[in-house]
Structure 1
């Protein structure tokens, strides 16, 4: 295979190239130019811009060579790889190849799962693909069980069941137990919970056509926690971790759940449905209760949960919610160390009371567009009803940066995979 060689330089762009250009060419070699006077994040932004420019020229394969730092290589690869060319990069011939390849395997899995068509990725298929990938990484360390369709109702997982019952394709709660210790009685060190809505029509609170177009990405939380767990396994995870994926299609039919319904969860909490498009928190509630039952001292959930989070932090950052102040600072530090953009938003104990209902303990939202003011925090407050009372050890990630409907100057179209490195770091720590 012939590669286009790509080097990196801190020297100015030579004439006759424009001084503001990020790329120059010398024969069959492309050069990415970064300004050494800028901070590392701004240099990474320049690398992203160069990668997008180079990708637009449609080279079949590129090979990085020269003095690339590991994070520079990673930044370039994330920006250059697209759904049509997911694996078109050869790493530099240095000591970082194994690390980069492990990261890229997890990234490629996460992105490909999110980019899959909703027709091809049913709730059962999502669960199966996640389980198969993790079992393939460590067959002797992984065990799997699931509750499908009516079995969910029999087990008391009413959120996943009701959100998914409008579809002909049944909803699923998947539990994956990764136990590298070999001890069946080993404590669970961490539990991961992912929102796996494989397509979100909004239900009877139906979305607009343009708002529905990208809703194949609404299982981005499930893909992200699976990718993060897989990356941790590739990097030598030696602790027991459980993964819970809450998988369903939110569709309209004669069997679909309705506005005004009241759900009673396993912990006794009653929830009035005032918006069937606020379904993510309904399925996550089941997963969070299962994670809490595991006894794990650390619970991380991830979800493409609210448009309010996107309005607050944009689509470059993911939003972080937790009532555990120490864990907030630790998690933000992990994100900084892994060069992933994460920003904290407010979550107080009283946020659980911000969706009142005259018929139940709480409503699943406020009957206003986008859930009204503070919608992302109110959604997090709803979730806090289903973890330990003080929220200790629990982190909620609202994945505002999970997906781009179109390419931009820094990112390719489709799934980003942002968050998998931070989650892996949290699992490996301690």
Structure 2
């Protein structure tokens, strides 16, 4: 097969011998994707077809013909792109449509590639710096940042990130990046985006199995998603002030690592007993949410590869959404639908804060049961809700159950997906 192929979307079978159950046919140097008109799952079919086409050894795809729409082209892009060819695609349409699709593809490629980096390539400070460098390149005049690292975290009271990361030779860090196109230091903050940046997760003393640890380079997927969302929104014309907060650490075992039954005291006075060192994501995000609240933003969105329970609930096909603000949750669902990113709301109520009790502290970070016990994803969200203002109004929590695939499937190549970037970018834009 040729290294470069023209891909045509069609509603008519091209030859009489087109097999009934096939949606792809190769005619000369052209590959046709056949769809029945008004197919309810057309975008899914296109993404699956793109996966099949990529596996033919096609290096570069050129979308041609009159039936391609921006949504169908993006579905093809998600299926076709993979490690080594995250941008090997030529779109079609108006110049405006092509520019928007190219912007989106470039940001997704950056975020996916970042997530696919090995732990040796991307320790915590390098993750934070990569986000600074990439977003700074989008709007050099409007970006400022503060990076707090190592023992400075403890000195300034950011005890969650400090405790999780102190067992590694690579120091943990907390990034606050300010995109302020108004250039007015007193301008209100529209949104704060908070990302979990665990660059490798061994589980700590609650150690994972070898199989469970293998893909944990991707445990910083939340940081990549929110950084990518801000970059994409800037490219699409964001005019409001938005802050990016990344909570970066390696969760390792050493003589200095945090331990089960340790108690962490947060800046807002909440005390937390460590019941599971492998439930570290919520421990670092708590600091990020507290920092976000200091800016009194209209909206706080956090994103994290937080719980296996969310993967079990959604099958890894949807991002799990949690919110106490139901009006905002509905807005998020409609936004996700508009950009064709699967999103599913799971239960969260104020009383989920009590689901991880401790005799010795205000709360534990989990339960001493496999997976945190029943309702583990909701309980994690309940823990996080202790660290947001206004009883959770204006806050959304994205548990990124579909952020990464350890192996290829019918929809995705192996590696990071970038799902969540488009939804969050649209919410803040």
TM-score bucket of the superposed structures, by smaller chain: over 0.9
Q: Which residue of 2 aligns with 1:259?
A: 260
Q: Which runs of 5+ in 2 are unaligned?
A: none
- Contact 1:13 1:22 (C-alpha < 8 Å) held by counterparts: no
1:22 Cα shift?
Answer: 1.6
Q: Corresponding residue for 1:79?
A: 79
User: Quick check: 2:290–2:388 contact (8 Å CA) kept in 1?
Assistant: yes
Residue 390 of structure 1 is matched in structure 2 by 391
Shift of 1:13: 5.8
Shift of 1:88: 1.0
Note the C-alpha offset of 1:387: 0.3
Question: What CA deviation, in whole Å up to 9, does each residue of 1:231-278 have, x standing for no partner?
Answer: 000000000001100000000000100001000000000000010000
Match of 2:420 in 1: 419
1:104-137: CA deviation from partner (whole Å, max 9, x where unpaired)? 1111111011001111000000000000000000
Distance in 2 (CA, whole Å) between partners of 1:81 and 1:148 is 35
Following superposition, the deviation at residue 2 of structure 1 comes to: 7.2
Query: What residue number does 1:203 align with?
Result: 204
- 1:416–1:178 CA distance, 2 compared to 1 (3 A): same
For the residues of structure 1 that align with 2:375 and 2:3, how far apart are their CA atoms? 52
Counterpart for residue 147 of structure 2? 146
Q: What is aligned with 1:64? A: 63
Post-superposition CA distance 1:296-318 (Å, at most 9, x none): 01000000000000111111100
Deviation at 1:93, TM superposition (A): 4.7
Distance, in Å, in 2 between the alignment partners of 1:352 and 1:427 is 27
CA displacement, residues 350-373 of structure 1 (integer Å, 9 cap, x when unaligned): 000000000000000011000000
Provide the rounded CA distance (Å) in 2 between the counterparts of 1:83 and 1:187: 40
Whole-angstrom distance in 2 between the partners of 1:137 and 1:367: 44
Q: Is 2:12 the partner of 1:11? A: yes
Q: Give the aligned CA root-mean-square deviation in angstroms.
A: 1.1
SS in 2 for 1:386: coil
1:25 aligned residue: 26
The one-character-per-residue Cα deviations of 1:357-399 (angstroms, maximum 9, x if unpaired) are 0000000001100000000000000000000141100000000
- Name the CA distance, whole Å, in 2 between partners of 1:337 and 1:389: 28
Which sits farther off after the overlay, 345-354 or 95-104? 95-104
Q: How far did residue 400 of structure 1 move?
A: 0.3
Indicate if the aligned counterparts of 1:194 and 1:303 stay in contact, CA closer than 8 A: yes
The equivalent of 1:244 in structure 2 is 245
User: When the two structures are aligned, how many residues end up with a matched partner?
Assistant: 426
Tell me which moved more, 93-102 or 360-369: 93-102
Question: Residues 3 and 57 of structure 2 are in contact (CA less than 8 Å); yes or no, is this contact kept in structure 1?
Answer: no
Match of 2:43 in 1: 44
Report the Cα distance in structure 2 between the residues aligned to 1:61 and 1:225, rounded to whole angstroms: 28
Q: For residue 106 of structure 2, what is the aligned residue in structure 1? A: 105
Q: How does 1:178-257 map to 2 (within 5 A)?
A: 178-257=179-258
Unaligned ranges ≥5, structure 1: none
Say which SS state the counterpart of residue 140 (structure 1) adopts.
Answer: helix
* Alpha-carbon distance in structure 2 between the residues aligned to 1:3 and 1:411: 20
**Kept in 2: contact 1:13–1:23 (CA 8 A):** no
Conserved? CA contact 1:12–1:19, under 8 Å: no
Shift of 1:94: 2.7
Structure 2 partner of 1:136: 137
Regions of 4+ moved over 6 Å:
none
Q: Give SS of 1:310's match.
A: helix
Residue-by-residue CA offset, 1:214-233 (whole Å, 9 max, x unaligned): 00110000000000010000
Q: Distance in 2 between matches of 1:12 and 1:37?
A: 16
